[in-house]
Structure 1
Amino acid sequence: MIASIFSKSRPFNYILVIVTLVLSFFIYQIQKQNSSTASNEIIGWMTKLGILLTLIASLFITNFITKRNGLSKDNSYSALFFVAFLLFIPKVFTDSSIVISGFFVLLAMRRLISMKSLVTPKEKIFDASLWIFIAALFHFWSILFIVIVFVSIVFHVSGDYRNWVLPFIAFFAVGIVFLFISLLFDKTWIYLIWNQIEVDFTFFYLERSAANAALILYGLFSFVFLIAMLLTLSKRPIIMLASYKKVIYIFLISLLIYVVSPEKNNALLLFSIMPLSILATAYVEISRDTVLKEIIAGSVLACGILLFVFQL
């Protein structure tokens, strides 16, 4: 039922996933709302509205990446899986830094995955590097996504030495502008970034069993979809191999960010939702068993809803 509904790209499907995202967002915010003064409450809800709009924008960018680059057929599975996996980690609804950082990473990945067309590769390399370094200002370890820039250069335009220099130019551009603005307005911003530059491999941070269950099931689905992609990679069109490999690298780096980041919480999994949604979409599309498609789509959505409720 679920898979058949989203097997076509209809406006109704996108309305459905957006309504699901908006309802779950406000239910979580109301449930977690603390008493505060009127002025603080207004500012708080404006921040929350910004988070919601950024998440909706991230949903459409993920769908755009998937469709524009031929990573899916004419369906809306990527939108479905994006929202379903988002329900696993409702903690992200209150973490503006992770949401903003994830949004800029998506803008970067949009440019890098489209490099297979070889149209304006230098602009895409510079733009992607710029977005990644901006994302690092909100969550430092998202800087690891710069690896995907060099992977893309290797895949497509390694012959021109100027392409290897562009990420460093973007780094200095963002660094100089950030230092100038920090010195002009608030020097503590520099210390905030500096304090994020640490590694923590401890995982004893979860306080509720529901968060543990969400992490385990998220990891299980991730393992299944990643292995399925690796096993079926040879069956994909040759022209798409580089794009799928980049999606796999993006997913693996997002897991590395989760592992090394200090102050761990499930919101960090947001970085992996875009590549995981693409992997899940590819798995459902390549399966010819209609029942299996329904089971996969229904299981992910049902687990997301149940885990969201348990984490309220």
Structure 2
Amino acid sequence: MLASVFSKTRPFNYLVIGILSLFFFSIKIIALAKPTADWVYYAEQFGLYVLLFASLFILNFITLKNGLTKGNNYALFLFFVFLLFFSSIFQNKNIIISNFLLLLALRRLISLKSLLQTKEKIFDASFWIFLAALFHFWSIFYIILVFIAVILHVSKDYRNWIIPFIALFAVTILFFLANSILDNSLMSTLLDKTYISFDFYYFENIYQRIALATFTSLSLFAFVLHVFDVRNKALNMQSSHKTILFSFILGVGIYVLSANKNNGCLAFCFGPLAIIGANFIEKIENNWVKEIVVYALLGLGIFFFIMQL
């Protein structure tokens, strides 16, 4: 039943995901709230939830607008499930903001296949990526995807290779302007995050380890299948799916490089992996198997969410 609900795009699906995500987000925030928490704290958290829901909406828009799935909401559902796997993201506003900006960038890069307003799209994507790096520094690694997209779509015009540097200049100007207003506090905050950390012993409990192991196994399985499935896609869609695959790899790279690492850093993989996973689910022909897969993923998500409270 659940798989059939998300097998089509309907307003009801957005309502369900919106209510469920708000419910679980609220539980996590209340559980983490200090006794002295005031309305300002809860207002800020609600703002973060709005960004999370907007991220869900943008991902769904990318998926449907560019025909990356066959008109279903499985990507929306999977993104929500991944949030349950790693609910630590709910308490990391920088990752939420940065991931939101990277999804905006991905939206522009995927739309390059239309070959319309390519320079504007390259600039926008680069701008969002550099802006995201101000919140989570190693998001800057995502700029590689801009050059990959240029190679896939518009490599012949040399000006397209220069545009990302113009975007970097624009963000740099804005950063130093804001930094001067805030008495250099932004600079010191940014510099504190610019180092690379390969410390993977950050787990607070065994369930975070199990969640990561489960997520890694599912990701690897879906990724490998999609790599081989890309050649079966329509010729005009292959570049878009390659972009999604590369974006997932770069998301993993951001997680690996990130300082102050935690499972929430895997959020940069959620969008691409949700699209990859949606392609896998929609290819399952047996409806019972499809239902089992969907319910199993949701069950795992709820289990890990509860055990990590």
- Secondary structure of the residue that 1:262 maps to in structure 2? coil
Matched, 1:311 2:308: yes
Alignment partner, residue 159 of structure 2: 162
**1:13 aligns to 2:13 (yes or no):** yes
| 1:278 lines up with 2:275 in the alignment | yes
Question: What does the per-residue CA deviation read over 1:21-42, in whole Å, with 9 as the maximum and x for residues that have no partner?
Answer: 0000001111121111xxx512
**Structure 1 residue ranges, 4+ long, deviating more than 3 angstroms after superposition:** none
Asked if the contact 1:85–1:300 (Cα under 8 Å) also holds between the matched residues in 2, the reply is no
Deviations 1:227-250 (A, max 9, x none): 110121221111110000010100
Please name the residue that 1:113 is paired with.
110
Give me the whole-angstrom Cα distance separating, in 1, the residues matched to 2:9 and 2:47: 27
> Which residue is equivalent to 2:48?
51
- Of 173, 181, 186, the residue aligned with 1:184 is 181
Match for 2:87: what amino acid? Answer: P
Q: Which amino acid aligns with 2:214?
A: L
Per mean C-alpha deviation after superposition, the further-off stretch among 237-246 and 287-296 is 287-296
Residue aligned with 1:87, SS? helix
Distance in 2, matches of 1:169 and 1:53, equals 30
The question of 1:23 aligning with 2:23 is answered yes
| CA–CA separation in structure 2 for the residues paired with 1:230 and 1:185 | 46
How far is the alpha carbon of 1:4 from its aligned partner? 1.3
C-alpha distance in 2 between matches for 1:295 and 1:186: 55
Structure 1 position 186, deviation (Å):
2.5
1:263 correspondence with 2:257:
no
Structure 1 residue 185 displacement after superposition: 2.3
**Structure 1: runs of 5 or more not aligned:** none
Letter in 1 for 2:115: L
Residue 121 of structure 2 corresponds to residue 133 of structure 1: no
Q: How does 1:66-77 map to 2 (within 5 A)?
A: 66-77=63-74
| 1:85-106 per-position Cα deviation (integer Å, ceiling 9, x unaligned) | 1101111111111100011101
Q: Who is 1:124 aligned against?
A: 121
Residue pairs, 1:168-207, within 5 angstroms: 168-207=165-204
The answer on 1:288 being equivalent to 2:285 is yes
Task: Give identity over the alignment, percent.
Answer: 41
Alpha-carbon deviation of 1:295?
2.3
SS in 1 for 2:199: coil
Gapped runs of 5+ residues in structure 2? none
Output the TM-score relative to the length of structure 2: 0.98
Query: What is the TM-score of this pair, normalised by structure 1?
Result: 0.97
Of the candidates 62, 75, 99, which is equivalent to residue 96 of structure 2?
99
The yes-or-no answer on 1:301 pairing with 2:298 is yes
Amino acid of the residue matched to residue 302 of structure 1?
A: G
- After TM superposition, the structure 1 stretch with the greater mean CA deviation from structure 2, 271-280 or 229-238, is 229-238
| Deviation (angstroms), 1:6 | 1.0
- CA drift of 1:135 comes to 0.2
- Please state whether the residue corresponding to 1:186 is helix, strand or coil: coil
1:204 and 1:183 mapped to 2: Cα distance? 37
* Residues 101-141 of structure 1 deviation map (CA, whole Å, 9 limit, x = unaligned): 01110110000001000010000000000000000000000
